[in-house]
Every structure is written in C-alpha cells, then in structure tokens.
Amino acid sequence: MMLFTWLAEPFFMRGADLNGILRILFIFALAYGLVVVIAFLLQRTMLYFPDRSTPPATTLAMVGLRTWPEHDDMRGLLGVTAPRPANGTVIVWHGNAGAAWQRGYYVDALQRLGFRVLLAEYPGYGGRSGEPSEATLVADAQETVRRAYAEFGAPIYLWGESLGAGVVAAVAAQPSAPVAGLVLLTPWDSLTDLAQRHYPFLPVRWLLKDRYDSVHNLQGVAIPVAVVIAEQDEIIPFAHSQRLYESITAPKQRWVLAGAGHNTWPAEAYHAWWEEVMEFVTQSQ
C-alpha cells in the first residue's frame, strides 16, 4: 500500500528531488517491463500471419492446382499440368502471410521452364491443422521433402521466399536431405538480427523463441545456392540478405531485383530472372 501511495503522490508536491526522480524512473521501468513481457508472450502472433481458410476445390481447379498427397492429409498443392517428363521437382515454401494456394505465379513460371511444382503449406496455414513455430515448420518441411522424394524421385530443388527461405535453409542443413539446389528469395541472415533491427528498444536476443539462423544453417552446405534480393525491400532490408549471401561458401550466385520491394518483386513468368536462377541451381545435374 505504501508503494502505491508513493507512486500516486504528485511529483510537484515533492519538487524535483531525488525521490521524485526515482519514482519516475520506477514507473518507466515498470512500463518497459510490461512491454517486454507482452512482446514475449505474443511474439508468435507478431511473427506469423496465416490465412487459415481451406480453398474450395473449384478455386484450386481454376488455378491449376490439386491437393498433395492425393490420398492422405494435405501437405501442399501440386501443379496439375506438370511437364512429362519433368526436369525435376521444385518445392516452394511461401512467404509469411496468406497461404500456398495464393502463390500460383510460382506454378506459372516454373512449369513453363519444365519443372514439376509443389507449393508446400505450413502447419496452421491454408486449412492445415497445427500452430506455426520454427521447430514445427522445419520438421514438417523435412517430412514434405522426404515424401516428395519418395514419390517423384530426384532431382529435388527447394525454393523459399522470406519466411520460407529460413525454413529451407534449415532443411538443407541436414546432410541426408535429398536436395540438389536451393533458391532463397528475399531471405534474411537470421531472424534474431532482423527483429533486433525492427525492434531496437527490446532485448530481442533474450526474448526470441524462433531464430531461423540461416547464416549458421547454410555453413557446410555444398549444393548451388541462388540468392534473389529485392533492392528496396522494406521488410528484410538489403543488408540482411547481402550478409547471408556473403556468408555462403557453397557455389552461389546473386540476383538483385532493381527497385523491387518485399511484396512487389517481378513475379510474372516472362521475366528472365526465373530462367537464370533455375539454370544456375540445376548446373550440377
């Protein structure tokens, strides 16, 4: 009770004495501590933005997709007009917001180049059950790669956009992963470093549960790695993608999409960079 009385006592009644200054500092510390606790408790709602709705079968048919696997719980969406024979299978993990069925432009661009395209879906997104976290998403992606390899065979290429780049970097870090090449579109170096940049007033390195350290995960990876950077990315600034690129010791090549933002990069199938990227990551086949 004495503490609340002291806090409630108007500052002007004591003047600018040491006790008043300490009271103000205590209030600021209490408010800051509350912000930190809220950020810690709500961090995954601040990180993941899923569209949880299940798309109708008619919608999927209109955009040339079907659920995959065909006779099991859905893990992703497969382009139905894949070339036969295909040059390989590209498994795409999309960016943070929305759902896989909204990423038909990957199918349009990559099928045109002769690849089978599988749009992987995350747990908790696009009608799938579960709650997203780094451990959940990475383990689920590893299982998706295993099943895709069992059904379609080699070569398997992984493509990750934004959040998806963090996921596929972790998958590729596993020596047993049957992966022939990697494409990282608008990637970060580590989520910890990126979050600290966006929230400099928070002790992010102490708070963050999901870290997606792609710099660490890609150490020792030997397959070709293509890094595609949006020059004016406002979500994952250029410096973070560039730092990741510089850290990669595997065969690598970089594309900078001039003037592009995080969600405004040139996705139409006719752009030359799609073919250039796939030519690079398939070079060892």
**How confident is the model over 209-243, as pLDDT tens digits?**
999 999 999 998 999 999 999 999 999 999 999 99
Residue 159 has pLDDT above 60, yes or no: yes
Residue 4 has pLDDT above 50, yes or no: no
The pLDDT, as a whole number, for residue 45 is 81
The pLDDT, as a whole number, for residue 223 is 97
Is 140 or 61 the better-scoring residue by pLDDT?
Answer: 140
* pLDDT grade for 13, boundaries at 50, 70 and 90: very low
Quote the DSSP letter at residue 54: P
Averaged confidence pLDDT in the chain: 90
Residue 47 has pLDDT above 60, yes or no: yes
206 contact partners, CB below 8 Å, separation of at least 6: none
User: What average pLDDT does the segment 75-94 reach?
Assistant: 94
Residue 195 has pLDDT above 60, yes or no: yes
The pLDDT, as a whole number, for residue 7 is 47
The pLDDT, as a whole number, for residue 2 is 45
Task: Report the CATH fold assignment for 50-281.
Answer: Rossmann fold (3.40.50)
- Nearest partner of 80 among 55, 58, 105, 63, judged by Cα: 63
The pLDDT, as a whole number, for residue 136 is 97
Please report, rounded to a whole number, the percentage of residues in the chain having pLDDT higher than 70.
92
The DSSP-derived string for 131-158 is ---HHHHHHHHHHHHHHHHHHH-S-EEE
Give the full edge-to-edge strand order of the sheet including 156-161: 65-68, 76-79, 116-120, 89-93, 156-161, 181-185, 225-230, 252-257
The pLDDT, as a whole number, for residue 252 is 97
- Report pLDDT digits (tens) over 21-43: 888 877 777 777 777 777 766 77
- The Cβ of residue 139 has, within 10 Å, a number of other Cβ atoms equal to 14
Q: Where are the domains of the chain?
A: 2-46, 50-281
- Report pLDDT digits (tens) over 228-237: 999 999 999 9
* pLDDT grade for 271, boundaries at 50, 70 and 90: very high
* pLDDT grade for 77, boundaries at 50, 70 and 90: very high
The pLDDT, as a whole number, for residue 40 is 67
